[in-house]
């Protein structure tokens, strides 16, 4: 096998591969052996017709495609190594010369890793993400927990009128132009007023009505609605209120605190809630700081990314999404159908993100190179042990499942070390001064403490 490389513009190269005639001939024989059972030739039992007879009837190229695929599988990985190119895309294969008794010549057009011109990546200045916890946030969290522990109470007062957040049990049937439509009917449906689970404008029209009331609810379906035949159309729902229930919230007192936590007083519980919120916000802020520093370093760099490299990132993102959906029992094509998108439209939608991801990885790889960052075998082994514990596997099983991808993990760890370096070297400035309202709230919180 003879391999030549021709460098093209925009980080693209051609790998020209010449495969000796005898290797091509052997691949044709192998293709004949694999496929001969598919041919019915008069005078021969199925699968017993000679190769020359099949080629005479069906043409000399009848086995070319299968033979070429065998040649590519066998020779392209070796050609990649011999080319010494840093290839970052799948090859675009073209058969240049193919003839019985002569060398097979093909070219593989590939994108190569582009050079990266780093800008400032040390000492980057970004505003520190706010990790403070306000009284308002603490109260909102307490309200959420209060809602979780609410008691649903049936209304026995015939004069009681539906309010926001009440639960109305209704019969309903929808009509468009006087004709009932499919899926527009329900009986004794529990609708929480203000939940937004029905068409905009529906729930608000129930407010003020009592159990036993019958009413018409007039709405217009959104222009973008899942049932296209209803999109943008006016509809009338004939409704009857069967029953009303409401949520009875527990009092925020010491008894509540002791019931929902290990604390005896509300003051202690509120301090615990605030501490939990603080911990979560600090983790979130740390991630935000990291993202902002990394984004600035990537924005400061210059690189011309080959389109084929972005295409491959898109392919990988599509593959990841397919796997995630399959774990939920859903096919990607089915999911796209719900979104009203074709595969091509979906690929275009995620392409900008793919471009950012590709540039980010290229910049990190270059920082790893510039900073001489290396990941030791011990660090790699530690990561494998962590994965083993997480997936409840043995470290040996994790290594086997990773196979050659273990070196990709080493590269990922090196990139994370590069990110840690960026964050450690960054200058995190304090957030802008708080508003008068925020200062007042801080004083209130201080007074509570």
Alpha-carbon gap, residue 426 to 430, rounded angstroms:
13
Q: How confident is the model at residue 338 (pLDDT cuts 50, 70, 90)?
A: confident
The helix/strand/coil state of 115 is coil
* Alpha carbons 5 and 8: distance in angstroms, whole number: 10
CA gap 260, 411 in Å, rounded:
46
Q: Which of 30-44, 262-276, 330-344, 428-442 has the lowest mean pLDDT?
A: 428-442
Using CA of residue 40, residue 46, residue 47, residue 51, what is the dihedral sign?
negative
Residue 446, pLDDT score: 53
Structure tokens at 78: 């070796």
Task: Give the per-residue pLDDT at 399.
Answer: 86
Q: What pLDDT is recorded for position 391?
A: 86
- Describe the chain by its helix, strand, coil percentages, rounded to 5: 50, 20, 30
Q: Is the pLDDT of residue 435 over 60?
A: no
Stretch among 371-380, 387-396, 414-423 having the lowest mean pLDDT? 387-396
pLDDT of residue 317: 95
Distance CA 383, CA 129 (A): 29
Structure tokens at 338: 């719900």
| Cα separation, 187 vs 247, whole angstroms | 22
Strand, coil or helix: 128: coil
Overall average pLDDT of the 217-236 stretch: 90
Percentage of the residues of the chain whose pLDDT score is greater than 70:
96
Residue 146 CA to residue 275 CA, distance in Å, equals 18
Phi-psi region of 201 (alpha: psi -120 to 50; beta: other; left: phi over 0): left
> What is the per-residue pLDDT for 341?
87
pLDDT value of residue 132: 93
Predicted confidence (pLDDT) at residue 445 exceeds the cutoff of 70: no
Cβ-based neighbour number of residue 180 at 10 Å: 11
Q: Is the pLDDT of residue 66 over 90?
A: yes
- Evaluate if residue 343 carries a pLDDT over 90: yes
Q: Positive or negative CA dihedral for 40, 45, 46, 51?
A: negative
What is the per-residue pLDDT for 227?
81
| Res. 89: pLDDT tops 60 | yes
Compute the average pLDDT of residues 329-345.
89
**Is it the case that residue 437 has pLDDT exceeding 80?**
no
d(CA 236, CA 172) in angstroms, rounded, equals 10
For residue 439, pLDDT beyond 70: no
Mean pLDDT along residues 270-288: 96
Which pLDDT tens digit goes with each residue over 162-179? 999 999 999 999 999 999
pLDDT digits (tens, 9 = 90+) for 394-426: 988 888 888 878 888 999 999 999 999 999 999
Q: How confident is the model at residue 225 (pLDDT cuts 50, 70, 90)?
A: confident
Task: Provide the pLDDT for residue 47.
Answer: 85
The model's pTM? 0.74
Give CA separation, 312 vs 7, 80, 309, 322, in Å: 20, 17, 5, 15
At residue 53, does pLDDT exceed 70? yes
Q: Interhelix angle for 377-391 vs 406-425, to 10°?
A: 100
- For 194-215, write each residue's pLDDT tens digit: 999 899 999 999 999 999 999 9
Answer yes or no: is pLDDT of 448 > 80.
no
Average model confidence (pLDDT) for the chain?
92
- What the chain holds in terms of domains, given with CATH numbers, is 2-111 (3.30.70.1050), 151-248 (3.10.50.40), 281-429 (1.10.3120.10)
- 202-206, long-range: CB < 8 A, 24+ apart: 202/237, 206/162, 206/168, 206/170, 206/239, 206/241
């Amino acid at each position: 096998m003879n391999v030549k490389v021709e460098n093209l513009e925009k980080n693209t190269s051609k790998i020209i591969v010449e495969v000796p005639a005898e290797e091509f001939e052997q691949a044709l024989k192998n293709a004949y052996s694999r496929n001969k059972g598919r041919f019915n030739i008069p005078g021969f039992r199925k699968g017993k017709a000679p190769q020359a007879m099949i080629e005479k009837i069906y043409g000399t190229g009848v086995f070319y495609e299968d033979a070429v695929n065998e040649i590519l599988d066998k020779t392209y990985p070796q050609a990649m190594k011999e080319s010494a190119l840093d290839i970052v895309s799948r090859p675009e294969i073209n058969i240049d010369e193919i003839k019985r008794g002569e060398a097979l010549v093909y070219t593989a057009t590939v994108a190569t890793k582009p050079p990266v011109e780093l800008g400032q990546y040390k000492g980057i200045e970004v505003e520190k993400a706010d990790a403070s916890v306000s009284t308002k946030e603490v109260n909102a969290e307490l309200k959420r927990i209060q809602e979780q522990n609410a008691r649903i109470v049936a209304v026995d007062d015939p004069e009681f009128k539906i309010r926001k957040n009440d639960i109305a049990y209704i019969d309903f049937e929808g009509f468009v132009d006087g004709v009932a439509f499919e899926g527009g009917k329900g009986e004794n449906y529990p609708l929480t007023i203000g939940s937004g689970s029905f068409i905009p404008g529906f729930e608000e029209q129930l407010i003020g009505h009592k159990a036993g009331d019958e009413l018409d609810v007039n709405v217009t379906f959104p222009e973008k609605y899942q049932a296209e035949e209803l999109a943008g159309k006016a509809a009338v729902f004939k409704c009857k209120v069967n029953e009303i229930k409401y949520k009875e919230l527990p009092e925020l007192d010491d008894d509540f605190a002791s019931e929902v936590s290990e604390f005896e007083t509300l003051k202690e519980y509120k301090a615990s809630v605030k501490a939990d919120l603080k911990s979560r916000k600090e983790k979130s802020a740390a991630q935000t700081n990291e993202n902002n520093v990394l984004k600035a370093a990537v924005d400061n760099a210059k690189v011309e990314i080959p389109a084929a490299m972005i295409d491959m990132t898109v392919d990988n993102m599509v593959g990841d999404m397919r796997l995630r959906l399959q774990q939920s029992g859903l096919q990607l094509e089915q999911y796209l159908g719900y979104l009203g998108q074709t595969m091509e439209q979906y690929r275009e939608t995620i392409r900008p993100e793919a471009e950012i991801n590709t540039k980010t990885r290229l910049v990190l790889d270059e920082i790893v190179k510039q900073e001489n960052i290396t990941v030791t075998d011990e660090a790699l082994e530690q990561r494998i042990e962590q994965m083993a514990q997480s997936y409840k596997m043995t470290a040996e099983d994790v290594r086997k499942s990773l196979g050659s991808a273990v070196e990709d993990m080493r590269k990922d760890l090196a990139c994370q070390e590069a990110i840690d370096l960026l964050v450690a070297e960054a200058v995190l400035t304090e957030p802008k001064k708080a508003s008068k309202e925020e200062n007042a709230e801080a004083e209130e919180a201080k007074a509570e403490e």
